[in-house]
């Protein structure tokens, strides 16, 4: 689902995050959407109508009682002549108005008058976000069918303040808008009738009953891929190593511990149309795990004999018969990312490799491993497609779209 030719009404309310709304306008327009902007009076204290209007390509609307526009009930036209209403940032005050049905300025009147889908991106101080009144308002808005993206956790504008309350980033809001519009689009389930296998998270290879070998994987990317595939209509089996994430809705989840467990579960899930191996599987395991906890002693440091774990990606990619039509592997690299990914593509026998830089120099705040953002390269025999830094959810949706396109073509 793209935003090409879609009409977006963007309501900007008065918070410090209003400056991000200017980038949001640009993001919508570069995807082919047209944008009209409504600003609250307090929003104009943070960004100017001139700036918003220049980016949108038409004047921003600010006044409910503007004689130049209200002669034909302009606020009703604004409310109806759009495909989607986005409120970013959505302040605690404007959310309270929406929950209570107030209409005392242009923004709140348009929001009450619209019959289009509404997406809000809350932004406020963490204490305000956690306040009982805000929680009641959020519950009411959700019950009323209002969609929400964010808020995120992080540093606040106020000194020494941090917590949940940051407005979602513009690309996250764009992705949420695409999902919301796709929900009513018959083409939004491009994987309907298809089956997918996804692996996610680390594996734990026991050394003794209390210690293990593992990778630094949170499972966020793999779980996001499973969720995106399910949203696209696929029947998804997710094989998850030990993670702290909730099971994605609408997905069959098999929980495993070791690489051997994961391989057995993957083989049991076949046949499938496509398989995505996003798990960070431990390459080695201890040849003989201790039956009891290994103790420090006079014998000195214990010597651990390692053996290779089964290569799950290669095993499935070279399987005959029963190979999935499309096999996608992941390559988390700390150096020579593309060269190593191309080598892995050839060695494993898979169709695509999703490669990323997980080194400390990756340029992604907080790092990729365990973080919420990612920047990947899709490596195929045809070449390399490098994607920008974006949320792991956005990466998942983009990858699922490519999978859907590949499965749509004749085998």
Contact (Cβ atoms closer than 8 angstroms) between residue 286 and residue 306:
yes
Phi-psi region of 174 (alpha: psi -120 to 50; beta: other; left: phi over 0): alpha
DSSP at 280: B
Q: What does the block give as tokens for 335?
A: 């150096």
Q: Which residues contribute to the annotated binding site?
A: 283, 293, 310-313, 330, 344, 348
- Mutual angle of helices 132-143 and 92-100, in 10-degree steps: 50
The active-site residue out of 93, 125, 152, 215 is 215
Residue found under tokens 């019959």? 115
Longest dimension (CA), the chain: 92
Residue 228's SS3 state is: helix
Let me know if 241 is exposed, middle or buried by CB neighbors in 10 A (0-12, 13-18, 19+). buried
Alpha carbon distance 312, 279 (integer Å): 10
In a 13 Å sphere around the CA of 122, the CA atoms on its Cβ side amount to 27
Alpha carbon distance 113, 2 (integer Å): 26
Known active-site residue 340: no
Q: Which of 97, 163, 159, 76 is nearest to 124 (CA)?
A: 163
Contacts of 164 (CB under 8 A, 6+ apart): 126, 129, 130, 151, 152, 153
Q: Which residues contribute to the annotated binding site for CTP?
A: 283, 293, 310-313, 330, 344, 348
First to last CA, the chain: 24
Residues serving a catalytic function are: 215
């Amino acid at each position: 689902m793209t935003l090409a030719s879609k009409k977006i009404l963007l309501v900007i309310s008065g918070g410090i995050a209003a400056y991000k709304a200017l980038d949001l306008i640009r993001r919508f327009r570069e995807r082919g959407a047209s944008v009209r902007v409504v600003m609250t009076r307090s929003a104009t204290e943070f960004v100017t109508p001139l700036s918003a209007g220049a980016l949108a390509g038409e004047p921003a609307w600010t006044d409910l009682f503007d004689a130049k526009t209200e002669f034909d009930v302009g606020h009703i036209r604004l409310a109806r002549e759009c495909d989607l209403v986005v409120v970013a940032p959505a302040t605690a005050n404007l959310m309270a108005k929406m929950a209570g049905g107030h209409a005392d300025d242009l923004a709140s009147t348009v929001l009450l008058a619209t019959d289009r889908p509404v997406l809000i991106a809350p932004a406020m101080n963490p204490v305000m976000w956690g306040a009982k009144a805000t929680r009641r308002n959020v519950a009411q808005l959700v019950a009323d069918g209002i969609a929400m993206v964010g808020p995120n956790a992080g540093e606040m504008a106020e000194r020494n303040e941090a917590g949940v309350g940051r407005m979602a980033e513009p690309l996250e809001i764009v992705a949420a808008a695409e999902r919301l519009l796709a929900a009513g689009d018959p083409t939004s389930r491009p994987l309907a009738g298809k089956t997918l296998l996804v692996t996610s998270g680390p594996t734990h290879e026991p050394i003794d009953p209390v210690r293990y070998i593992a990778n630094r994987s949170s499972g966020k990317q793999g779980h996001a891929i499973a969720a995106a595939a399910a949203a696209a209509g696929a029947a998804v089996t997710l094989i998850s190593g030990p993670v702290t994430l909730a099971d994605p809705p609408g997905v069959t989840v098999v929980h495993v511990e070791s690489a051997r467990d994961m391989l057995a579960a993957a083989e049991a899930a076949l046949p499938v149309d496509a398989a995505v191996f996003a798990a960070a599987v431990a390459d080695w395991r201890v040849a003989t795990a201790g039956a009891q906890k290994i103790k420090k002693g006079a014998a000195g440091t214990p010597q651990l004999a390692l053996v290779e774990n089964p290569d799950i990606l290669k095993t499935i990619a070279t399987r005959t018969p029963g190979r999935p039509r499309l096999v996608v592997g992941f390559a988390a690299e700390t150096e020579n990312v593309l060269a190593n990914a191309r080598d892995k593509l050839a060695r494993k026998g898979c169709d695509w490799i999703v490669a990323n830089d997980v080194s400390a120099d990756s340029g992604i705040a907080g790092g990729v491993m365990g973080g919420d953002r990612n920047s990947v390269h899709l490596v195929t025999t045809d070449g390399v497609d490098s994607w920008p830094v974006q949320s792991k959810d956005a990466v998942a949706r983009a990858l699922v779209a490519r999978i859907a396109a590949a499965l749509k073509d004749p085998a």
